[in-house]
Structure formats: structure tokens, C-alpha cells
Amino acid sequence: MKVAARSASVLRVKRRVHLFGLSLLLAACGDEVHSLDAGTQNDATVAPDASTPADADTGAGLDAQGADAQGADVPVVIDPGTGRIDLGTVTLVNGSSESFDFELPSELDSFMIVIRGAEDSMFVVRHLDGPTGTLVTPDIPSEFLDVLLGPFPSQYKSPNRVVAQREGISAALFPNNPSVSVGAGSYTASLGGVRVTGQQTAPASGTVNVEVFYKVGSASSGRIDVGLYFSGAGGLSADSAPASPLMNAALEKLRTVYAQIDIEIGTVSYHDISSSYQTISSLSGPGNQLNEMFKLSQAAQRGLHFFFVDRIESPLGGVIGGVAGGLPGPPSGQGTTGAGVAVALAAANGDANLLGHVMSHEGGHWLGLSHTTESLLPGIEDQLPDTPAGQAGTSNVMYPDGNSTGALLSPNQGSVMRRHLETVSR
Amino acid sequence: MRTATFILVLSSALLTRGATAEPNIETLAAAVSSIDELPTKAQLLLLGADAEGRALLELANDDKRSAYTRMRAVSFLAWFDSQKSRDGLVRLLEDERSPVEELRIQALRSLARLEGSYGRARLERYLRGPSVPLRLAAERAMAATAAVRAE
């Protein structure tokens, strides 16, 4: 199958009502099992400090409504410097698609490919060639250790690492390290997919929808809104959390950590979700609890969504302190299985510094960062030359240690996080 | 058998990379302390755990370690079935003075996994106990045990 993408040569700047976002919200609330109880829904919003410009973007999102109205493949720009191209439907047969093309505009800074498909499958950009060369390849020879790199090891080891993280939706950010670059012109891509059945995977077949989000120009600073979701874990709710010393101290840590790479935390909103999510006990497979919880993210609000639970348990045994809905998470993906980050309050055990650390760490994943080094996979590190290697990385936020409260982010890590489409350029 | 094969493959791969650390309690503690990585049993064995779960129990009982490391160690004991680990988990579960309730919750969960339907009486006792989080944990464990039986 060939998907021929067309591009408009002129970028148009528009601001639109969030009709698409609203429809996603309604879809999420239509789920009888996991919808919010009308009596418990409780949302509150706290605006950023008074120094924030009055016209700062608090909601003009990456709006798919515009693209649908104008037909597929035509770039739609909502915020200055960003745009979206709907590439429509791509078909996977026995785990992979045929190649398709798309065009990106001049002054391109970065772009993200978002793949949406069946919620029993994980997807990845299988290969990607552009004007500056090969970014993703399926042809890197296999090694023993590859079994531990997930279902797409060659893509993981590609010049621009891509990872399939959650079922149903997947995103990839280009470039995500300084050894690769992107530019205006024609790109050729194909997709891969696996269907998840229990602990096994099999090649996926079926259709997916593909979008490309891009940024033009270069932004040295950014701003991201934050949504906080409370299941009642730790006794916290949308009402009580704004006055919680624990939550405020953790948020302050998040602000401080992200400020060093010039990302400001913008509007903070507070939401209640069902208490059935206090313990997350299924992490993968169709209808798993983590995915269902992420789908409760408020579709009208963009940014980074944190879901506070008591604990996150693997059904096979073991617990984790937090988990991200994507590496990176999907832009404009509110209401989807990849829309947020889950943080376990029991793991923090009342320690605000540790809670803020886990928020910063999982938020870093969602915005596109890998671990500086994998503690379980010696020799596997991120692709950024300015992050410390191995055990020396404990000072870095992305070192995967639940005891180190390292607070540093490197300039390269900052570049990656600012390129994510949910980080609004300032 | 699958675990043994996996360890063999993993060991070979790590040796090929020349990146193996000498397994000891500290390398195990580092792996156990990861924020968001779920090791396999094979990885834990490679990084310093033993088949009886003694090293994990040592981490779980070390009150100089963080609550996070201790609760993760307790949660991984669900994969190490020995009398030693069962006894250790019972002691952690029944320690009503534990300052970290999550240790008791994870001990109950790991025990339930190791004991299966033989642990039903214990779970029923905690279902009637005074601690709400432990009651809820017992409910979840009871449901998980029933699900495994159904399979």
C-alpha cells in the first residue's frame, strides 16, 4: 500500500475550539467500567504564576479537527511553529507495512510520528529515511542481548532510537540525539506492529492511523501544562491536593528540575478519577488497568498528565515506582492509552523529594528521554553524549534508581524535551 | 528449564559485552532499586539473588535501606519459593509495628503467590483484620489466587 502525502507550502496559523478534544473526552466518559462517577468528578485548575504572559497558550492545542475539515495530508498549524499532517490509514500485514512518503517544510526543527491502532497491539516506526539519511532501520544485525530490548531491537539500536512502549498508540520523536538531524523535504517510512497476547507477541495485521506533528524554528525555552489525577491514593483528591505539603513540594521539585533546561511548568489542573485505580495490577494486554486509567486524561487539556496511585504491581510479581505511557508519549494523545504517566505514592513513602524525582523521571520518559544507563542491561545507555555513563549517572534525573534523587538534566536532554510537541515553545 | 536457558543466553550476551558486574548484595540492591524496570527472575539471579531468596530477604529486612528498596525486594520474593523466603515473608507480614505498611502489603501478596490456595486461611484472616490496606490487599490476592486456579 502506498500512502502519498501532500504538503502545503504555506504554513497557516489558526486557533481553534477543542471540538476534537471534547469528542475524545466524551468517548472516554462513555466507558461504563472506568468512567468517572458524576458525583466524584472534581476538576480544579491553578493558573501559573502572575508573571506568565496573559496570552500564553492555555489550550490552543494540536487540533485534529482542522485537518479533518480540510482533508487528510494537508498540514494544519495551530500554534505558531507547529503543524500536523494526517497521513490517514496504513495497513500492516504480518507485522509490517509497505513504505509511504510524506513531506516536511522548511526550517524544520523536529517532528513526531504518531501511530494509532488496535489496543491489543504495539506499533513502531519500522524504517525511516529522510533528506539527511537513515534515521530508523530494521537491518541492524541481531545480538544475544536483543531479546531484552523489546519487540523491535533493530529500531531500538537505530541512529534515532524508537521504542514501542504501550498498546494502542505509539509515538517517535526525530531527532532525539545530536548525532542525527532532520531537514525539510521528502521522507519515506514503514511501520511495524506486534499483537500482545498474554506474555507473548505475534506479528500484527490490520489498519492504523498515522499522523506527523512537526515544529519549525528552534526554541530555546518551552512551557508545558500539567494535569494531576487523583484516585484517592495517599488520601489525596482534587480538592485536597492543592493544599497538600507533599504534593506542593513534589511539584516544586518538578518545576526546579525542568527549569534548568528552560521548561516552565504552566497551568496545573487537578482531577479526581475512580478509586478503582488506587492499585494498578495489570500493565499490559487488552483492557489492562494502566491503559484504561490513562484514557481518563482530560482530552481538552494538553500537556503532561500525572496519575497518582498507591502502587503499580505486575501481575507476575514485583512493583514499580512509576511508569510512562510512552517513550515518548503521543502529542495530542489525551484520552488514549499513552496519555500519561503513573506515579506510585506508596513507593515514595511520604518523601516529597522522591515523589518529585519519580515525577521528573517518568515525565522525562514521556517527553522522549531514555535512561542514562539501564541498570538491568549493562552496556545499554542513552544516545546523548553529554549524560554521564554507568554508575556515574546517579546525579542525573534519568538514572533509573529509586533511591538516587539526582536532579540534573543535560543540555542534550533539554533539547529532546523541548522538541516534544506538548512542550509549547516560548 | 526456560529460566535456566534464559540465564545462559543472558550470561553469554553480557559476557560478550564485557559488561558484567561481580554479583553481590550491592549489585542486587541497585537492580532492585530501579524506579521503573521490572527485572526477570533470571536477571535477579545473575545480579546476586540466590534461589532460596536469602539475598532478597536480607535487603527486605535491612532497615538502613530505603523503604522503596525494601518493598521491591519483598515483592520479588514472590518468585523465590523456599521455606526460608516463606518464613521471612510471614515475619514481615506479621510485624504490626513495621513503620512501612507497604512492606506488609507486599509480603502478603508475595506469600499469596507462593502459597496459592494453601494460603487461603491466612488471606481470610487478613480479610477480617483491622488494617484497611491489608484487607484490600487480601481481597486482591484472593481474587488473583482464584484466577490462577481457574486457569
Residues of B in Cβ contact (< 8 Å) with A322: 35-36
At residue A209, does pLDDT exceed 70? yes
Q: Rounded CA gap, A106 and A7, in Å?
A: 11
Q: What is the reported pLDDT for A298?
A: 79
A148, closest residue in chain B (CA to CA) = B10
What φ, ψ does residue A155 adopt, rounded to 5°?
A: -65, -35
Whether A284 and chain B come into contact, CB under 8 Å, resolves to no
Q: How confident is the model at residue B2 (pLDDT cuts 50, 70, 90)?
A: very low
Q: Which residues pair with A104 in a beta bridge?
A: A185
Whether A235 and chain B come into contact, CB under 8 Å, resolves to no
Mutate to test the interface with A, among B35, B71, B79, B151 (most CBs of A within 10 A): B35
Residues of A in Cβ contact (< 8 Å) with B18: 379
Asked whether residue B86 is domain-assigned, the answer is: yes
Which member of B16, B20, B68 has the closest CB to residue A347? Answer: B68
Mutate to test the interface with B, among A349, A357, A360, A361 (most CBs of B within 10 A): A349
pLDDT digits (tens, 9 = 90+) for A101-132: 999 999 999 999 999 999 999 999 999 999 99
SS3 letters across chain A: CCCECCCCCCCCECCCCCHHHHHHHHHHHCCCCCCCCCCCCCCEEECCCCCCCCCCCCCCCCCHHHHHHHCCCCCEECCCCEEEEEEEEEEEECCEECCEEEEECCCEEEEEEEEECCCCEEEEEEEEEECCEEEECCCCCCCHHHHHCCCCHHHHCCCCCCCCCCCCEEEEEECCCCCCCCCCEEEEEEEEEEEEECCEEEECCEEEEEEEEEEECCCCCEEEEEEEEECCHHHCCCCCHHHCHHHHHHHHHHHHHHHCCCEEEEEEEEEECCHHHCEECCCCCCCCHHHHHHCCCCCCCCCEEEEEECEEECCCCCEECEEECCCCCCCCCCCCCCCCEEEEHHHHCCCHHHHHHHHHHHHHHHCCCCCCECCCCCCCECCCCCCCCHHHHHHECCCCECCCCCCECCHHHHHHHHHCCCCEEC
Mean of pLDDT values over B86-105: 95
Which member of B31, B100, B110 has the closest CB to residue A349? Answer: B100
Mean of pLDDT values over A240-261: 98
Q: What is the reported pLDDT for B124?
A: 93
Partner-chain contact A145 B75, CB within 8 Å: no
Given a contact cutoff of 8 angstroms between Cβ atoms, the answer to whether A44 and A269 are in contact is yes
Least confident of A70-79, A157-166, B7-16, B89-98: B7-16
Asked whether residue B64 is domain-assigned, the answer is: yes
* Cis amide leading into B99 (omega within 30): no
**What CATH number has the domain bearing residue B127?**
1.25.10.10
pLDDT digits (tens, 9 = 90+) for A414-425: 999 999 999 998
Asked whether residue B97 is domain-assigned, the answer is: yes
Question: What is B8-71 written as a DSSP string?
Answer: HHHHHHHHHHT-PPPPSHHHHHHHHTBSS----HHHHHHTT--TT-HHHHHHHH-TTS-HHHHH
At residue A64, does pLDDT exceed 50? no
Ordered by start, the domain boundaries in chain A are: 63-216, 222-425
pLDDT digits (tens, 9 = 90+) for A326-337: 999 999 888 999
At residue B18, does pLDDT exceed 50? no
Residues of B in Cβ contact (< 8 Å) with A346: 71, 102, 105
Q: What is the reported pLDDT for A197?
A: 82
Q: Rounded CA gap, B112 and B105, in Å?
A: 11
Residues of B in Cβ contact (< 8 Å) with A141: none
Residues of B in Cβ contact (< 8 Å) with A145: 10, 13-14, 16-17
Most trustworthy range by pLDDT among A12-16, B14-18, B77-81: B77-81
Mutate to test the interface with A, among B36, B40, B56, B69 (most CBs of A within 10 A): B36
Query: Which grid cell sits at A47?
Result: 493558573
Given a contact cutoff of 8 angstroms between Cβ atoms, the answer to whether A339 and A308 are in contact is no
Q: What is the reported pLDDT for A23?
A: 27
CA angle B11, A313, A380 (to 5 degrees): 35
Q: What is the reported pLDDT for A77?
A: 57
Partner-chain contact A317 B19, CB within 8 Å: no
At residue A34, does pLDDT exceed 60? no
CA neighbor of A147 nearest in space, from B2, B15, B9: B9
Q: What is the reported pLDDT for B6?
A: 45
- Tally of domains in chain B: 1
At residue B3, does pLDDT exceed 70? no
Q: How confident is the model at residue A144 (pLDDT cuts 50, 70, 90)?
A: confident
ipTM of this predicted complex?
A: 0.87
Interface of B with A (CB under 8 A): 9-10, 12-14, 16-21, 30-31, 33-39, 43, 47, 66-69, 71-72, 75-76, 78-79, 100, 102, 105-106, 109-110, 113, 133, 136, 140, 144
Q: How confident is the model at residue A71 (pLDDT cuts 50, 70, 90)?
A: very low
Residues of B in Cβ contact (< 8 Å) with A317: 75-76, 78-79, 109-110, 113
At residue A85, does pLDDT exceed 80? yes
Given a contact cutoff of 8 angstroms between Cβ atoms, the answer to whether A213 and A82 are in contact is yes
Q: What is the reported pLDDT for B151?
A: 57
Least confident of A20-29, A302-311, A379-388, B38-47: A20-29
Looking at CA atoms only, how far is residue B93 from chain A in angstroms? 16
Asked whether residue B3 is domain-assigned, the answer is: no
Q: How confident is the model at residue A73 (pLDDT cuts 50, 70, 90)?
A: low
Q: Which residues pair with A230 in a beta bridge?
A: A272, A308
Partner-chain contact B35 A401, CB within 8 Å: yes
Asked whether residue B7 is domain-assigned, the answer is: no
Partner-chain contact A144 B12, CB within 8 Å: yes
Which member of A144, A147, A374 has the closest CB to residue B16? Answer: A144
B36, closest residue in chain A (CA to CA) = A320
Q: What is the reported pLDDT for A143?
A: 80
Domain boundaries A63-216, CATH class: mainly beta
Residues of B in Cβ contact (< 8 Å) with A310: 133
Mutate to test the interface with B, among A157, A284, A372, A375 (most CBs of B within 10 A): A375
How many residue contacts between A and B have a Cβ separation below 8 Å?
114
Q: Which domain holds residue B131?
A: 23-150
| Mean pLDDT, rounded, of chain A | 83
Query: Which grid cell sits at A409?
Result: 538534566
Partner-chain contact B34 A319, CB within 8 Å: no
Q: How confident is the model at residue A232 (pLDDT cuts 50, 70, 90)?
A: very high
Q: How confident is the model at residue A426 (pLDDT cuts 50, 70, 90)?
A: confident
Q: How confident is the model at residue A15 (pLDDT cuts 50, 70, 90)?
A: very low
Q: What is the reported pLDDT for A76?
A: 63
Domain boundaries A222-425, CATH class: alpha beta
Whether A242 and chain B come into contact, CB under 8 Å, resolves to no
